[in-house]
């Protein structure tokens, strides 16, 4: 089964007056949809846009794997485990909240910040928090705690990408345009594939994609 979600179909959120604009792909906060609670291990796929000086004050997480991909600008991260980091375009940040952690996310830079933040359910909700930043990720990032693998795919126009068989595959378009069969996908659009084999994406322009491959828990 294939489900396409357009960028305009995401649930609006954040606090625009405070310089925070959010678009949620899955049920989040006041946007409750019992048919859209999660996909595979994914609990949230949020597009975040922060104006200079804006951010999220300290708040808690637990039993969640939080993966962040910076599209433009600089994300400043602080957490209660003692990590302070600036995450830039092309960097992947992974915070394993495990038994509990608090963190702050801000745009302390001079330019607008855009990032995609993805929350995944762990297979075993336990253990101490952990934190990692991969600078300039260009290959796969395995997340065994959630039974998932993320690939960042950068395609040239007219290139094809065969999607690997998986119980669940989630494709998020970061930049450019691709097509999945007869369906064009543009920035912010996403495709959810369940139990599909042999699907192929065609880049109609240069494109950047986030592709999750997940197994059934």
Q: What is the pTM of this model?
A: 0.94
* Residue 151: closest CA among 214, 74, 73, 66: 214
Indicate whether 155 pLDDT > 80: yes
Mean pLDDT, the chain, integer: 94
State pLDDT tens for residues 166-185. 999 999 999 999 999 999 99
State pLDDT tens for residues 93-109. 999 998 888 999 999 99
Q: For the chain, how big is the Rg over CA atoms in Å? A: 17
* Collapsed DSSP state (helix, strand, coil) of residue 157: coil
Indicate whether 213 pLDDT > 90: yes
**β-pair type (130-134, 178-180):** unpaired
Q: Which residues on neighbouring strands pair with residue 173, listed in sequence order? A: 209
Length of the chain (residues): 217
Q: What percent of the chain has pLDDT over 90?
A: 81
**β-pair type (2-5, 42-50):** unpaired
């Amino acid at each position: 089964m294939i489900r396409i979600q357009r960028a305009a179909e995401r649930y609006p959120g954040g606090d625009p007056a405070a310089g925070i604009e959010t678009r949620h792909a899955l049920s989040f906060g006041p946007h409750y949809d019992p048919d859209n609670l999660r996909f595979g291990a994914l609990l949230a796929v949020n597009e975040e846009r922060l104006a200079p000086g804006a951010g999220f004050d300290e708040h808690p997480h637990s039993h969640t794997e939080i993966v962040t991909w910076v599209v433009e600008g600089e994300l400043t991260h602080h957490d209660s485990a003692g990590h302070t980091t600036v995450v830039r375009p092309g960097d992947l940040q992974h915070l394993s909240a495990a038994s509990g952690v608090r963190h702050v996310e801000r745009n302390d830079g001079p330019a607008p910040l855009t990032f995609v933040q993805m929350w995944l359910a762990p297979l075993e909700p336990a253990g101490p928090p952990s934190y990692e930043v991969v600078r300039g990720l260009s290959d796969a990032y395995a997340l065994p705690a959630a039974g998932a693998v993320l690939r960042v795919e950068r395609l040239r126009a007219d290139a094809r990408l065969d999607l690997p068989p998986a119980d669940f595959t989630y494709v998020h378009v970061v930049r450019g345009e691709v097509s999945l069969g007869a369906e064009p996908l543009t920035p912010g659009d996403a495709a959810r594939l369940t139990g599909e084999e042999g699907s192929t994406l065609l880049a109609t322009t240069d494109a950047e994609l986030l592709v999750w491959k997940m197994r059934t828990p």
